Amino acid sequence: MKKAVVLLSGGLDSTTCAYLASREGFAIYALSFDYGQRLRRELAAARAVALAIGAIEHKVISFDLRQWGGSALTAEIPVPQARSLPEIGKDIPSTYVPGRNTIFLAFGLSYAEARGAEALFIGVNAVDSSGYPDCRSEFIAAFQEVARLGTKVGAAGQTIRLVTPLIGLAKGAIVQLGNAAGVDYALTWSCYLGGDAPCQSCDACLLRAQGFNAAGIKDPLLDH
Amino acid sequence: MKKAVVLLSGGLDSTTCAYLASREGFAIYALSFDYGQRLRRELAAARAVALAIGAIEHKVISFDLRQWGGSALTAEIPVPQARSLPEIGKDIPSTYVPGRNTIFLAFGLSYAEARGAEALFIGVNAVDSSGYPDCRSEFIAAFQEVARLGTKVGAAGQTIRLVTPLIGLAKGAIVQLGNAAGVDYALTWSCYLGGDAPCQSCDACLLRAQGFNAAGIKDPLLDH
């Protein structure tokens, strides 16, 4: 059975990505990160999603990016609240973590090579890529070259393929696609704050709400 | 004062690289990794080198690559012993750690961006590059593109420059260069095993001895 590593945060995008990889017939090796982000609750969501899709393994790599901070997610910079949606994506937001996706993909590459996986899935999408440089297709293409040149399998002519099924998609299209693929969005978590219920005012909640609204689907986290 | 992040393992190559960066006038931000390798003694060497060159900071990022192994340095695979030197470099050795330098450079990139550093030094060299795919100049060039495309500073037109002062050099040339730059090799550690004195039979010890012999310089670790 062909194997794929899936970067899985437990949010809406990476969860959709994981279900899509599973439906493509890959044996899933899920990989999450605990890097001193505020959103530790995401990890529990990632675990639930990995179980739901029958992942072969779910690994969590821990490291501490608070050592150098530089982001609202890893230092004492306020998480942006209640921006209007048109503002989201105009500038690189304070939730940008320096080099984060490069670090994530590097670990994903290592894991994929160690397990003999042929694919590495990451849920970057149109909303992310409008704001974060390390979510754009040019960046993914550059990392593909790193994967080809910097691994033993690559040196042997078998590249680990980066797969980005959401790359052109807005949140509404992602929710529609995931819903059709049977994603259980009740398992996911998006809110940047860690309360009992989504705060419904941070950027992540606003984008999530926009996605469900655009898809014409109710968010199960708000139904309960 | 211009800033540089230097990847510093405490071995011969990265220590030489750190001294060279310091002599070029950079304020040094040293970065080491504790990734479940057998060679924990290297970390003490890295600390001593960082102090000796007056680094502004020395950060150690810990993560556990034993979670997926795949290398003699992170799993229960024997460390190669007493190979003849011509054999070293012919194949990718069992000490290859999947994606290791990609992970190291990813963290270095994050740290450099968080500190506003303009350069990222890594001590890859001719011996490494003959054996490890993630030490070759093509790989470094591919990662340079990742640095340009995957960072906020890169998006603003200021690339964090990867600097590889040892890239074409054999061990003898590295020791000569370092000696001329005032490197205190008594602070360094190369042996793959963690004894009180270098084992003098692992690949790392053999390569180190070859370097000092070729340079016509005594290894201070063997003088004591």
Rounded to the nearest 5°, which phi and psi values hold at B212?
A: -65, -40
Q: ipTM for the complex?
A: 0.90
Domain count, chain A: 1
Predicted confidence at residue B86, as pLDDT, reads 46
Give the integer Cα–Cα distance in Å for A18 and A182: 11
pLDDT of residue A126: 86
pLDDT at site A86: 45
Which amino acid type is present at position B116? G
Locus of tokens 């005594």: B218
Q: Which of B69, B99, B155 sits opposite A109 (nearest CB)?
A: B99
pTM to 2 decimal places: 0.91
CA-nearest of B123, B107, B124, B127 to B115 is: B107
For residue A30, what are the β-bridge partners?
A: A6, A58
A187, part of any domain: yes
Comparing CB atoms, the residue among A92, A150, A155 nearest residue B155 is A92
Q: Which domain holds residue A38?
A: 3-217
* Average pLDDT of the residues of chain B: 88
User: Which range (A18-22, A41-45, A136-140, B17-21) has the least confidence?
Assistant: A41-45
Does a structural domain hold residue A224? Answer: no
Q: What is the CATH number of the domain that holds A89?
A: 3.40.50.620
Q: Given the structure tokens 């940047």, which residue do they identify?
A: A192
What one-character-per-residue DSSP string does chain A give?
Answer: --EEEEE--SSHHHHHHHHHHHHTTPEEEEEEEESS-S-THHHHHHHHHHHHTT-SEEEEEE--GGGT--STTTSSSPPPBS--GGGTTTS--TT--TTHHHHHHHHHHHHHHHHT-SEEE----HHHHHH-GGGSHHHHHHHHHHHHHSSHHHHTT-PPEEE-TTTT--HHHHHHHHHHTT--GGG----SS-SSS--S-BHHHHHHHHHHHHHT---HHHH-
Task: Using an 8 Å CB-CB cutoff, list residues of chain B that contact chain A.
Answer: 59, 61-65, 67-70, 92, 96-103, 105-107, 109-111, 113-115, 133-134, 136, 138-139, 142-143, 145-146, 148-152, 154-155
What is the distance between the alpha carbons of residues B186 and B49, in angstroms, rounded to a whole number? Answer: 10
More confident of the two residues A173 and B35: A173
The upper half-sphere exposure of residue B69, i.e. CA atoms within 13 Å in the direction of its Cβ, equals 7
Residues A108-123 have a mean pLDDT of 97
